[in-house]
Amino acid sequence: MPGNQILIVDDEIGIRELLSEILQEEGYSVRLAENANEARKQRNQHRPDLVLLDIWMPDTDGITLLKEWGNNGQLTMPVVMMSGHATVDTAVEATRIGAVDFLEKPIALQKLLATVQKALRPSVAQLRPELNLSSLGKGQVILDLKKQLERVLPLKTPVLLVGESGVGFEACAHFFTGPGQQFIAPENVEKALDAPSELLQQATNGVLFLREIGKLAPRSQQGLMQVLGKLEKHNVRLVMATSRPPADVLQDRTFDQGLFALIANLQVALPPLRTHREDVPELAVQLLRQQVEQKRVASVKFDIAALNALRNHDWPGNLEQLQNIVASLAATAGSEDISAQDVNRLLAPYVVKNTLGAADALDLPLREARDIFERHYFEHHIKLENGNMSRVAEKVGLERTHLYRKLKQLGIRFSRRGSAE
């Protein structure tokens, strides 16, 4: 609808200007980008309602940029691809990745306007995944996380989010963004910190989110120090994240200890997905629904056993791994129902890879090492016996009442009727 902001990405200035003129005459607000780098900046800084994206560009092509946005959770707006030389396969690939439509050049006036209007309809725009805490889950663990974030929200101190890779750093960082505020999250943090003044200018009166600051090179650390010194001047709220344990950063001689003291005053720990497994089934259904509604895959759904199998997995890659697994299951589904067998087949390599080894156990306190081993041990037998607790008890040599107490102690969910949960 008129008033929406549209980003046009095309390396040909004539096409950019022509489309811009047409859309502005219709009342749309238009921004232009001649390449992928400029498109990234415009997308992060201005959050367009729609992107018209050319496929063939000299540095990074449109398909690659579309994939990048999708993989990084940044495909939060409808994207219409444009090309004068694309094949049917290219158009299908773009749609599978997440494009909502395709325009063939030369673009007819009525076709352009109809496509833009269609892409901006609520039925299409509502398909955009929102980055907020509900995308991490709705259980007690996430509610507790929300309370922590609410306590630090009024403070102006830079916030450091700490947790394992893939736990949802950006979703939490968005929590600090108020109505109308811009959210700047550079993909290449080190490159962005090479120009701290430009970065601050982009983030003025908004939120600046910097990923993996615990791995910054010395030169980038200097840039971050400059950013810290000018946050108040530019009215910028700084939120950072690291999957590297703070203790490891402190022991790293290449990391400026004075800088770390400045950025680590206010830390919020993000929980790994395995600590709130009860959220996994609903998250998986939500992620699959997005795949289907965006027409990336055919209409499929999880059966109960499949959701159960997903919930019982350890998820070492956390939410990011769950997103990838759901996408793979949706793309390779052989029928309308995704089964537990489908899930277990796909997760099998991860289960083997992440089983605790003797060398790992030697580095842990005895009680923690024993608990991890026992959890793997009982989960293995529950899965092996398809959740039949009578057979599990017989296999491990425990009375059922003793087995139930043990599973409850280890935080393993199960059903006394026989099916593991």
Determine which helix (DSSP H) or strand (DSSP E) holds 46, and give its type and residue range. helix 36-46
Which candidate, 99, 158, 161, 97, places its Cα nearest to that of 133?
161
* Torsion angle, alpha carbons of 256, 262, 263, 265, to 10: 130
Number of domains in the chain: 4
Q: Find the CATH number of the domain harbouring 280.
A: 1.10.8.60
Tokens 């690939």 belong to which residue?
Answer: 93
Task: Tell how far CA 404 is from the center of its chain.
Answer: 36
Which candidate, 45, 129, 44, 113, places its Cα nearest to that of 80?
113
Based on the fold, state whether residues 344 and 364 are members of the same structural domain.
Answer: no
Which residues have a Cβ under 8 Å from the Cβ of 119 and sit 6 or more positions away? 50, 78, 80, 100, 101, 125
* Chosen domain end from 353, 374, 397: 353
The C-alpha atoms of residue 25 and residue 8 are separated, in whole angstroms, by 15
Q: Find the CATH number of the domain harbouring 385.
A: 1.10.10.60
Which candidate, 177, 179, 231, places its Cα nearest to that of 200?
231
Query: Each residue's pLDDT tens digit in the chain (421 positions)?
Result: 567 899 999 999 999 999 999 999 999 999 999 999 999 999 988 889 999 999 999 888 999 999 888 766 677 789 999 988 766 667 767 776 778 888 989 999 999 999 999 888 754 444 444 456 778 888 899 999 999 999 999 998 999 999 998 999 999 998 998 766 788 998 889 999 999 999 999 899 889 999 999 999 999 999 999 999 999 999 999 999 999 999 899 888 899 999 999 999 999 999 999 999 999 999 999 898 887 766 666 788 999 999 999 998 989 889 989 988 898 888 888 788 899 888 988 887 666 455 544 445 556 677 767 777 787 788 877 876 767 888 888 888 888 888 888 887 777 766 654 444 4
Task: Tell how far CA 46 is from the center of its chain.
Answer: 20
Cβ count within 10 A of residue 15: 18
Structure tokens at 123: 């039925």
Q: pTM higher than 0.85 for the full model?
A: no
Q: Is residue 327 part of a domain?
A: yes
* Chosen domain end from 335, 353, 371: 353
Q: Domain residues for 370?
A: 358-410
* Chosen domain end from 245, 269, 293: 269
Based on the fold, state whether residues 64 and 157 are members of the same structural domain.
Answer: no
Q: Is residue 161 part of a domain?
A: yes
Q: Find the CATH number of the domain harbouring 213.
A: 3.40.50.300
The C-alpha atoms of residue 379 and residue 311 are separated, in whole angstroms, by 11
